Amino acid sequence: MSFEIRPLPGVTGAEVIGFDIGRDGADQAARQRLRDAWTDRVVLAFRDMEIDEAGFMRLAGLFGENVPQPVQRPEYRVEGFPFIRLLSSRHRDSLGDNKPLNVGGTWHTDHSHLPDPPRGTVLRAIRLPGEGGDTSFTNQRAAYEALDEETRREVDPLVGLHIYNSRYAPRRMATMTPAEEREAPSARHPLVRPHPVSGRKALYFNPIRIERFDGMDAAASQALMDRLVAHCEQDRFVYRHRWRAGDVLIWDNAQALHMVRHDYDPARERVMHRTLVG
C-alpha cells in the first residue's frame, strides 16, 4: 500500500498520509487497515485530500453506511448531497432569537439522543479562518481504563437519559419547530459501553444531552458529569487537531468526545462539510 498511517503522540489520533481515494479506495486490505487504525486511535486525520463532495462521500463510505442528518434545514444542505451537512460559524438560531450559535463549542458526542447514534463523524475543511478553530478530542476508552476501581464500580451500572437539548447543557442548541420537537427522540444509554468492534469499554456520556442517570437526581447526575469531564479532558487523553487545507477527519463517537475552539476572528468564516456513518 502506498499510504502511511502515522500514530500521533499519546493515546489519541493518527495521520493518514498519501491516501488516494481513486487508487486506494477499492482495496479491501486498505479499507481494513484504515478501520483497524480508526478503532485503535479513535481519530484519523487524512492530510492533503484533493476531493470533491462525491469523493468525500466515497471516503466516508469506507467506514460505514450513511446515516441521515437530524434536523436537516435548507441552510444546512449541500445541493445534491443529502447526507452532507454544511456547518458554518455564521449559522444563527433562525427560529429563536437569531443570535449566532456556538456550533460544537463544548464537549459532546454526536446525536447521543438517538436510539442508535452514528458511530462515525467525518468532517472536511472547506474554509478555514486562518488562525484558531482547532478541534479537540478525548479518548474515552483510555479515560475509562485510567479510572480507579472505586470509580469504575460507581459508573459501571449507570444508564443515562439523553434528550435533544438538556436543560443543563453548557450551550444551547438551535431552536426546533414544534414538529421537530415532537419527532426528536430520546434514548437511554449505558454510561460504560463495550465498543462494537473491539469490545473494550469506554465512557459514553454527553454534557449537552444527558438529563440524569437512572437512580440519581439531577444534582447528583450533574456533579458526576462534572467529575467525569474533568477526568476525560486531561492532556494525556486529548488530541487537539490544528486544521489545514485538504484535511478530512473521521472520529469514533463510541469512544470520543469532541469540541471546536471558538478562538478565531468572528469576521472570518469557518465552513465545514460533515457526514455521519453507522
Cell of 238: 486529548
Report the helix count and the strand count for the chain, using DSSP H and E. Answer: 7, 16
CA 3 to chain centre: 25
Question: Cell 449505558 identifies what position?
Answer: 190
41, 85, 110, 141: which one is catalytic?
110
141, 162, 258, 270: which one is catalytic?
258
For the chain, the first-to-last Cα distance in angstroms comes to 26
What does the DSSP 8-state code read for residue 179? H
41, 111, 141, 274: which one is catalytic?
274
Is 110 an active-site residue?
yes
Is 226 an active-site residue?
no
Is 274 an active-site residue?
yes
Which run of H or of E encompasses 140? Answer: helix 140-145
Is 111 an active-site residue?
no
41, 85, 108, 209: which one is catalytic?
108
Residue 200 CB neighbour total at 10 angstroms? 15
Catalogue the active-site residues: 108, 110, 258, 274
